[in-house]
Amino acid sequence: MNYTSEFWTSVLLAFVTGSVATGLIVWSSVRAKEAQKKAQVIPDGITGALHALATAGLVLDVDNKIVRATRSAFALGLVRDQVLVHPKLVSLVDKARKAKKSSKARAKDFALASELGDATIWVNSRAVHLGEGYVLLLVEDRTESHNLEETSRDFVANISHELKTPIGAMSLLSEAIQSAADDPKQVRKFAKNLETESARLTQLVQDIIQLSRVQSAEVAGTAAEIDLATVVAEAVDRNRVLANKKKIQLKIATTDGIRVFGDQELLTTAVKNLLENAISYSDTESPVSIRLRKKSGVAEIAIKDKGAGISPEDLDRIFERFYRVDQSRSRATGGTGLGLSLVKNIAQKHLGEVQVKSKVGAGSTFTIRIPLATAPIDATGSKK
């Protein structure tokens, strides 16, 4: 090899090395720019902020592809294969992107049908353009509060309907009394009916007031320690007249010292209602029993009758407000259809439950189950 060829080889090598180095520098600066651009369009804080949100949050790019999404967005079933499942949400996102003032959020309430089954979720959605075609979509699940509103609307409608019946009857009866003023026998008959309707109205109003009190009552945490034997004794006392009228013997088996945290009056109402039903839906002279006992950390009050019993279809519905199996029988016994709903609410407020076993023609057993009050633990950790 002579000097000339050595010279040219070095020049070539220097050129190749220089080109590769320059290429690398250019390539890395392009990548850095791209990365910078990306960082600019989805601001750093967005991801962190999304995870801090209680609502579902998503960021969509200019092609409506989801580039960021919180776990709750998946849990709500909003995302499949990096796209939004619901066309209504897509259209809200598109509108936000096209908005002239990019910072102005678009908000809308939607009922979104689930992909499977017939469930619907009720959401409040907000979309805002972040710039460069990126849109932030926030979706708040309001299904629970929507259902609650619907239930209370139904309740108000039901109350109005239930109140209209005795009020209408009272108004007709008072007219009838006036027309029959010259016939004392008829007047006495109508006056008696008026008294019955008035008693029904009083009972209905009392049950409605009690139910709304129970629903807003804060029992757990603020409750006193209650001996359930006194609750049972009081509930039995309140049913003595009714039981005697039907010659029904009440068999009582209780043990002292079974204590729960609770509200004495509410618990008495619950047991009284169950006892009243057991007597009302039993034939004359059919026995009714009440047993109070402890079972694996739980206090149980079981009320057993050998009365009409309840069919399996009705068993699923008897705890609903205003539900009565037999309208005419319930009217005859003066029932409002709220008794069991009250019992269920009271049991739940005491962190407990109510169970029922029943067979048509053989009778029913309703059992209230409430956790026993545990002994307080003092600062040294020993039980008092």
* One of 277, 286, 345, 367 touching ligand ADP (CB under 6 A): 277
Residue 197, SS3 per DSSP: helix
Phi, psi (5° rounding) for residue 253?
A: -130, 105
Closest C-alpha to 224, from 373, 343, 369, 383: 373
Report which residue type is found at 175: E
166 binds ligand ADP (CB under 6 A): no
User: What's the chain's Rg over C-alpha atoms?
Assistant: 36
* One of 210, 286, 364, 367 touching ligand ADP (CB under 6 A): 364
204 binds ligand ADP (CB under 6 A): no
d(CA 304, CA 366): 7
Q: Which helix (H) or strand (E) holds 228?
A: helix 228-245
55 binds ligand ADP (CB under 6 A): no
200 binds ligand ADP (CB under 6 A): no
Closest C-alpha to 373, from 253, 230, 266, 226: 226
* Tokens matching residue 76: 């709500």
Minimum CB separation of residue 315 from ligand ADP in Å reads 9
> Which of 125, 210 has the CB closer to ligand ADP?
210
Q: Which stretch binds ligand ADP (CB under 6 A): 47-55, 56-64, 145-153, 275-283?
A: 275-283
d(CA 127, CA 97): 9
d(CA 299, CA 229): 11
336 binds ligand ADP (CB under 6 A): yes
Phi, psi (5° rounding) for residue 365?
A: -130, 120
> Which of 120, 348 has the CB closer to ligand ADP?
348
* Tokens matching residue 88: 């209504």
Minimum CB separation of residue 170 from ligand ADP in Å reads 20
Closest C-alpha to 287, from 319, 249, 329, 254: 249
Minimum CB separation of residue 205 from ligand ADP in Å reads 14
Count of residues in contact with ligand ADP, rule CB under 6 A: 21
325 binds ligand ADP (CB under 6 A): yes
Minimum CB separation of residue 228 from ligand ADP in Å reads 20
Cβ atoms of 56 and 138 closer than 8 Å: yes
* One of 292, 318, 346, 347 touching ligand ADP (CB under 6 A): 318
Minimum CB separation of residue 223 from ligand ADP in Å reads 24
Minimum CB separation of residue 237 from ligand ADP in Å reads 19
Q: CB atoms < 10 A from the CB of 154, how many?
A: 12
Minimum CB separation of residue 292 from ligand ADP in Å reads 18
Cβ atoms of 325 and 333 closer than 8 Å: no
281 binds ligand ADP (CB under 6 A): yes
Q: Kindly give, in sequence order, each residue whose CB lies less than 8 Å from that of residue 115, ignoring residues fewer than 6 positions away.
A: 77, 85
Q: Which stretch binds ligand ADP (CB under 6 A): 54-62, 76-84, 229-237, 338-346?
A: 338-346
- Tell me which residues in 292-311 interact with ligand ADP (CB under 6 A): 305, 307-308, 310
Minimum CB separation of residue 277 from ligand ADP in Å reads 3
Minimum CB separation of residue 208 from ligand ADP in Å reads 12
> Which of 57, 307 has the CB closer to ligand ADP?
307
Angle (CA) 359-362-367 rounded to 5° is 65
> Could you list the residues that contact ligand ADP (CB under 6 A)?
277-278, 281, 305, 307-308, 310, 318, 323-326, 330, 335-341, 364
